[in-house]
């Protein structure tokens, strides 16, 4: 029960993060697209990446809110945060111009704060994945047994 509560709290934090950043990017879409086009790594792809990133963030947030899709959304959250962090580190290491394409208040963070912030959410995502309740064979056997009884009783 405690692990489930922790997973739910982490999922809620990730939902807040992705809804906030995705919505901020869509509301300031033109600025976001222009900043992406200035990125030495994304110049050629800025047009479609500008749509894909906020849409994926919002879709992952919706999936996190649905227990049926939560585990896959946690993997998606982990992957997004790792990709954002790897991109940020690559830009910091290899580019003279560092465009900030983050949404909302997160834009005002320093680059080192961005990396710490991202690593915190990577840690949370990974923790939730590892704590996520798994169905055991006993759970499945019990469910099958209960379904058989319900089918028998409903006749």
Residue reference for tokens 């949370």: 124
Rounded distance between C-alpha atoms, residue 31 and residue 46, angstroms: 12
What pLDDT is attached to residue 36? 84
Structure tokens at 132: 């996520």
Domain boundaries, the chain: 2-153
What pLDDT is attached to residue 47? 85
**pTM score of the predicted model:** 0.81
Q: Measured on CA atoms in the order 101, 102, 108, 111, is the torsion positive or negative?
A: negative
Instruction: Tell me the pLDDT of the chain (155 aa) as tens digits.
Output: 799 999 999 999 999 999 999 999 999 999 888 888 888 777 788 888 999 999 999 999 999 999 999 999 999 999 999 999 998 898 888 877 777 767 667 778 888 899 999 999 999 999 999 999 887 665 556 666 667 766 766 66
- Kindly tell me the burial class for residue 22, based on how many C-beta atoms sit within 10 Å of its own C-beta (0-12, 13-18, 19 or more): buried
Long-range Cβ contact pairs of 113-117 (< 8 A, separation 24 or more): 114/88, 115/85, 115/88, 115/89
Beta carbons of 125 and 81 less than 8 angstroms apart: yes
DSSP 85-136: HHHHHHHHHH-SS------GGGGGS-HHHHHHHHHHHHHHHHHHHHHSPPPP
Beta carbons of 2 and 131 less than 8 angstroms apart: no
Please report, for the chain, how many H helices and E strands are present, in that order.
6, 0
Q: H/E element holding 137? A: helix 137-153
């Amino acid at each position: 029960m405690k692990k489930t509560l922790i997973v739910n709290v982490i999922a809620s934090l990730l939902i807040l993060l992705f809804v906030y950043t995705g919505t901020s990017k869509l509301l300031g879409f033109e600025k976001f697209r222009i900043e992406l086009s200035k990125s030495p790594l994304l110049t050629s792809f800025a047009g479609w990446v500008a749509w894909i990133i906020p849409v994926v963030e919002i879709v992952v947030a919706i999936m996190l809110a649905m227990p049926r899709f939560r585990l896959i959304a946690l993997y998606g959250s982990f992957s997004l945060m790792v990709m954002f962090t790897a991109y940020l580190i690559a830009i910091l290491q290899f580019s003279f111009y560092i465009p900030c394409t983050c949404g909302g208040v997160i834009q005002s963070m320093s680059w080192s704060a961005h990396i710490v912030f991202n690593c915190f959410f990577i840690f949370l995502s990974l923790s939730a994945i590892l704590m996520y309740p798994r169905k055991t064979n006993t759970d499945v056997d019990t469910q099958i047994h209960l379904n058989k009884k319900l089918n028998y009783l409903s006749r």
